[in-house]
Amino acid sequence: MAPRSIAELRRMAQKRLPRLVFDYFEGGAWRQHTLRANREALAGWYLRPRQLVDVSHRRLDTRLIGQDVALPLVLSPVALGGMLWADGERHCARAAARAGVPYVHATLSIDCIENVAAATTPPPWFQLYLLRDRNLSERLMTRAWRAGCRVLMVTVDMPLLADHLHSARRGLRLPPPAVAALAWDLSRHPAWLYRHLQRGSLGLGNLEGALTGINGLAGLNAWLDANLDPSLTWADLAWVRKRWDGALVVKGILEPDDARLAAEVGAEAVVVSNHGGRQLDGAQASIAALPGVVDAVGQRMEVHVDGGFRSGQDILVALALGARAVHIGRPYLYGLGARGQPGVEHSMAILHRELDLTLALCGRRSLEEVDETLLARRGHR
């Protein structure tokens, strides 16, 4: 029987992936307070149903950054996403195109932007980290543009790499005694191992030539520590704006004042995000920060949100609070890890059905009818 929820897809992926790989994508930073807060804050809202409304015809389509989309959904950029399934980024891009939603290709992807863009129409959006080497950052932007990307997403909440103690305990920084345990873990997942052996070595396609002396994930962490730029300011984002002719999206905003600064730089959208709980542990939940950002800039630019979304009900809460779209990461990764491209398509089909049914049960027929009157806080009447 096909999985009927994102939770069921998660369980399937957990069984089919090596523990090292699953834990890397599943975990958060430090004590994982913010990781849990994302889910807890979403659970703090009730949906208010309205009865005897004709909901026989419903629409979920909208426009994002000037693009017609079938759902108010975006597949977030995920570093090393291709670890879950060989050629995983291409599978995700194709699945997103079939579902009529954007896919964002990450700087730190296994596959390069040229291959992923060639695999699907329309081309993906491109996510950029501004590195110390501005020439490298500019070359990445040029490559993305030449590959057909017209939306650039700059992630601004990672001037330094946070500690991921959860995944470190599972062996991302392997001491010698853990090598045998890792080999045993991989041997218990022959299908995963076979797919990757068939593809060849795991590299970072967008950074070929820039990575020197890198040995495994621990080496990548060291490279990031050396190449992420803690001196970044809004002037650097303005530098990007001058060099990018397409739409600019700023990801990693939680404070209204930062959203205003993004609007002043000329961004078309911001993503209210705490990096899925993988950067500043102790930051507030994205859904809690969303209303303040919408109030600050919602009339000037699109406001998107990510962090903790696992169902159509969660998505509807965000839309009611003013989000134009919800970005998902782990939900589609569960599908990728479970079944490859069909799994990614299935994850979006689950969310589509849940959102459609929830919209109808709340007495709404389109996204234009969704607003804050649809919600009530738990503990309030």
**303-337 core/surface letters (b: 16 or more CB in 10 A; e: else):** bbbbbbbbbbbbbbbbbbbbbbbbbbbbbbbbbbb
The answer to whether 317 and 47 have CB atoms below 8 angstroms apart is yes
The answer to whether 17 and 84 have CB atoms below 8 angstroms apart is yes
Q: Is the dihedral of CA 18, 126, 6, 100 positive or negative?
A: negative
- How many Å apart are CA 68 and CA 182, to the nearest integer? 45
Write out the two tokens for 48: 């208010």
Burial of 281 (0-12, 13-18, 19+ CB in 10 A): buried
Q: Is 39 left (phi over 0), alpha (psi -120 to 50) or beta?
A: alpha
- How many Å apart are CA 79 and CA 94, to the nearest integer? 18
The catalytic position among 164, 275, 346, 352 is 275
Write out the two tokens for 178: 């853990």
Residue entry with tokens 């599978």: 91
Task: Answer yes or no: 164 catalytic.
Answer: no
Q: Which residues form the catalytic set?
A: 275
